[in-house]
Structure 1
Amino acid sequence: MEEAMKEVMIATANINKEDLLHDFRPRLVIYKDGRVERFLGTQSIPPSIDSLTGVESKDVVISTETGVSVRLYKPQGVKSNEKVPLLVYFHGGAFILETATSPEYHNYLNVLSSKANVIVVSVDYRRAPEHPLPAAYDDSWAAVEWVRLGLAGAEPWLSTHVDPARVFLAGDSAGANIAHHMAKRIAKCNNPDGKFALKGLVLVHPYFWGKDRIGSELQKLNSSSESRFDRLWKLAYPGTTGSDDPLFNPEMDPELSVLAGEKVLVFVAENDLLRDRGAHYKDLLVKSEWKGEVQVIETEGEGHVFHLFKTVSPKAAQLMDHFVEFINSS
């Protein structure tokens, strides 16, 4: 990932800054004429039967109005009458980059589906700045609602193979942020039709932030200036109240304890600037008197979403093992 970012910086060095409205290189730039040019997360891979795992995937458009779709994954080993857990997954990218069809997500979820023997629904929500927040939250909720209908018979892979008592939400970075807020929405709707029971959340390097610096941020960042997280958040959500918006900073959410699920697993990485936010999230949940169990697992010596780009490393394998165990221990 770091090498790719360096290559982008070199390739985009000659862009005239006077033409730019926002400069977020090496991630993206926005020109004064409104054009958005992304440099990361632009590749796409079609659904398939994966040659390594045998996992089958397919795409389903869930809204003709918005064009929002999901990618489903079915493990090779699932039997015709077998009921397995369901994982609804939200990709990361600061609400701006990546898609559910990005190679790193497609490849990772093939492996996860196979190892955990779980049906996966990967949500391809609309991205900012073309579709500013709360579009991604609304699209993700539409996907959760689609899953509820699918379990009732609208989608054969779900109605045939999913155990509705073992549903999980997960995501990395901005996707982890989305997963948290979808669990809150599920708690508020109280699952009136009883179509599924949310067992837990897996938040990988969650994209939470706040106006005031905490932990190691005090040493790594200038407390008097905006970080890239502050600026990216404002780009994704122009209507926000700022970095203490409850959508971005769980500490400012008076209803934090209103969270569906029985357990939460939070992954953090030692060299990730967001590391302390993930650890702090556990403290906030405990303080809120949420009734579930929450665990934080830290990976030493690694950075943000390293597991998507160092997939064969021992530490990425350990993260995968913890992920699988969390799902299958329910």
Structure 2
Amino acid sequence: MASSAENENDNGSAVAHDFRPLIRVYKDGRVERLLGTATVPAGLDAQTGVDSKDVKISDALDTVSARLYLPKFMLNNPEQDPQLPLLIYFHGGGFCIETAFSPTYHNHLNLLASQANVVVVSVDYRRAPEFPLPVAYDDSWAAIKWVINNQADADPWLNDRIVDYSRVFIAGDSAGANIAHHMAIRAGIEGINVAGAILVHPFFSGVDPIGGNEADRRAHLQSRRFVEGLWRLVCPNTRMGLDDPLVNPSFDPRLKLMGSKKVLIFVADKDSLRGVGFYYKEVLDKSGWAGAAEVVEAKGEGHVFHLFNPSSESAVAMMKKLVVFLNQS
């Protein structure tokens, strides 16, 4: 993978930052996203029976929206008394690619809503580098507040006849897992109850090698230049680089304030971020936080493998774990 540099492309345009296979930024300010640009419309999914629709978060935030997913159970039983858990999901993509409307996430969340029988809010936050961090965090928090306020008003799919607001979960993968982590902390600070947080292959790092074994530390060192360059692109005002509390949780004094009492962390043993997933649990346990964290590892798999091969044995096992976690009382 390339890193930040001044290069020339075939057309002679100067490249200021080259983070293949994700994104290029040109010196004239033009941004070229190399992945995660496709979108699919919302609507009834024939395979899972899940319905979806796109909504605007608020009149004041025209650029922040979400895709809602309503499982077949509720579509077929509109007068059913049991309320469903609610999952607020943040997509990955290094804070700079993918959207809530990409086929990758649309297919994944249709499947998850169907199998776990949960209502899903997939947040479409603004992306770097046009909107550098903390914009994505602010947008995501605005979405959470919008969801919570829906208990009384606004979208009917989120009213308290359908959604059990004592079972609100926050989740994300990669950069989205980083966002979910920060949203759980902010929820704790502001007194909003989160039933559980799910971090899939979380985007964390640090200046020093991280990991419980030599392979993890070696992977950290090999990817650090790329990760640090990308981090400085999406968070240009960082003063601490990879030891910024936004990307290195061990430097965050607010960690113990996390609003969720349960955290489920997924890692993959061929992912360069495997070590930081275990590291995250370690620093969380040592922070004084009163909850319980669990790490689940997929052997022989790479970063966000479940999004690209959902029928694999490891992805099926991962989905079963998610279903159990989201349906615990």
Per the normalisation by structure 1, the TM-score is 0.91
Judged with a 3 Å threshold, the aligned counterparts in structure 2 of structure 1 residues 185 and 272 are, in CA distance, closer, same or farther, namely same
- Equivalent-residue separation in structure 2 for 1:280 and 1:164 (angstroms): 31
For 2:4, the equivalent position in structure 1 comes to none
Q: Residue 245 of structure 1 aligns to which amino acid in structure 2?
A: D
For 1:27, the equivalent position in structure 2 comes to 22
Task: Report the Cα offset of residue 145 of structure 1.
Answer: 0.4
- Equivalent-residue separation in structure 2 for 1:117 and 1:179 (angstroms): 21
- Equivalent-residue separation in structure 2 for 1:41 and 1:256 (angstroms): 31
For 1:115, the equivalent position in structure 2 comes to 115
**Aligned CA-pair RMSD:** 1.7
- Equivalent-residue separation in structure 2 for 1:137 and 1:222 (angstroms): 27
Contact 2:220 2:273 survives alignment (8 Å):
no
For 1:287, the equivalent position in structure 2 comes to 286
Deviating above 4 A after TM superposition, structure 1's stretches of 4 or more consecutive aligned residues are none
Judged with a 3 Å threshold, the aligned counterparts in structure 2 of structure 1 residues 226 and 302 are, in CA distance, closer, same or farther, namely closer
Task: Report the Cα offset of residue 269 of structure 1.
Answer: 0.2
Task: Report the Cα offset of residue 153 of structure 1.
Answer: 2.5
Contact 1:173 1:207 survives alignment (8 Å):
yes
Contact 2:87 2:171 survives alignment (8 Å):
yes
Structure 2 spans left out of the alignment, 5+ residues: 2-7
For 1:167, the equivalent position in structure 2 comes to 168
Tell whether 2:78 aligns with 1:83: no
For 1:8, the equivalent position in structure 2 comes to none
List per-residue Cα deviations over 1:140-187 (Å, max 9, x = no partner).
000000001112222211113100111100000000000010011111
- Equivalent-residue separation in structure 2 for 1:113 and 1:227 (angstroms): 37
- Equivalent-residue separation in structure 2 for 1:185 and 1:207 (angstroms): 18
Q: Which residue, 227, 230, 239 being the options, matches 1:229?
A: 227
Contact 1:221 1:227 survives alignment (8 Å):
no
- Equivalent-residue separation in structure 2 for 1:17 and 1:279 (angstroms): 44
How many matched pairs? 313
- Equivalent-residue separation in structure 2 for 1:14 and 1:256 (angstroms): 43
Judged with a 3 Å threshold, the aligned counterparts in structure 2 of structure 1 residues 222 and 281 are, in CA distance, closer, same or farther, namely closer
Tell whether 2:209 aligns with 1:210: no
Contact 2:43 2:52 survives alignment (8 Å):
yes
- Equivalent-residue separation in structure 2 for 1:16 and 1:235 (angstroms): 23
Task: Report the Cα offset of residue 289 of structure 1.
Answer: 2.2
Task: Report the Cα offset of residue 16 of structure 1.
Answer: 5.5
What secondary structure is seen at the aligned counterpart in 2 of 1:295? strand
For 2:191, the equivalent position in structure 1 comes to 190
- The 5-angstrom pairing of residues 270-285 of structure 1 reads 270-285=269-284
What secondary structure is seen at the aligned counterpart in 1 of 2:53? strand
Tell whether 2:44 aligns with 1:62: no
- The 5-angstrom pairing of residues 136-155 of structure 1 reads 136-155=136-155
Contact 2:9 2:15 survives alignment (8 Å):
no
Task: Report the Cα offset of residue 64 of structure 1.
Answer: 3.7
- Equivalent-residue separation in structure 1 for 2:127 and 2:10 (angstroms): 24
Contact 1:84 1:163 survives alignment (8 Å):
yes
- Equivalent-residue separation in structure 2 for 1:60 and 1:204 (angstroms): 25
- Equivalent-residue separation in structure 1 for 2:248 and 2:10 (angstroms): 34
Contact 1:271 1:304 survives alignment (8 Å):
yes
Q: Residue 261 of structure 1 aligns to which amino acid in structure 2?
A: S
What secondary structure is seen at the aligned counterpart in 1 of 2:256? coil
Judged with a 3 Å threshold, the aligned counterparts in structure 2 of structure 1 residues 250 and 106 are, in CA distance, closer, same or farther, namely same
Contact 1:176 1:205 survives alignment (8 Å):
yes
Tell whether 2:182 aligns with 1:181: yes
- Equivalent-residue separation in structure 2 for 1:221 and 1:98 (angstroms): 24
- Equivalent-residue separation in structure 1 for 2:188 and 2:194 (angstroms): 9
Task: Report the Cα offset of residue 15 of structure 1.
Answer: 3.4
Contact 2:13 2:26 survives alignment (8 Å):
no
Judged with a 3 Å threshold, the aligned counterparts in structure 2 of structure 1 residues 134 and 233 are, in CA distance, closer, same or farther, namely same
> 225-234 or 141-150, which moves further after superposition?
225-234
Task: Report the Cα offset of residue 220 of structure 1.
Answer: 3.1
- Equivalent-residue separation in structure 1 for 2:67 and 2:86 (angstroms): 13
What secondary structure is seen at the aligned counterpart in 1 of 2:176? helix
Q: Which residue, 39, 63, 67 being the options, matches 1:71?
A: 67
Contact 2:209 2:217 survives alignment (8 Å):
yes
Tell whether 2:253 aligns with 1:254: yes
Task: Report the Cα offset of residue 26 of structure 1.
Answer: 1.9
Q: Which residue, 43, 48, 60 being the options, matches 2:43?
A: 48
- Equivalent-residue separation in structure 2 for 1:222 and 1:183 (angstroms): 29
Task: Report the Cα offset of residue 18 of structure 1.
Answer: 6.0
- Equivalent-residue separation in structure 1 for 2:219 and 2:100 (angstroms): 32
List per-residue Cα deviations over 1:290-325 (Å, max 9, x = no partner).
111110000001110000001111111111110111
> 226-235 or 268-277, which moves further after superposition?
226-235
Contact 2:93 2:175 survives alignment (8 Å):
yes
What secondary structure is seen at the aligned counterpart in 1 of 2:72? coil
Q: Residue 198 of structure 2 aligns to which amino acid in structure 1?
A: V
Q: Residue 126 of structure 1 aligns to which amino acid in structure 2?
A: R
- Equivalent-residue separation in structure 2 for 1:17 and 1:213 (angstroms): 38
Q: Residue 17 of structure 2 aligns to which amino acid in structure 1?
A: H
Tell whether 2:272 aligns with 1:302: no
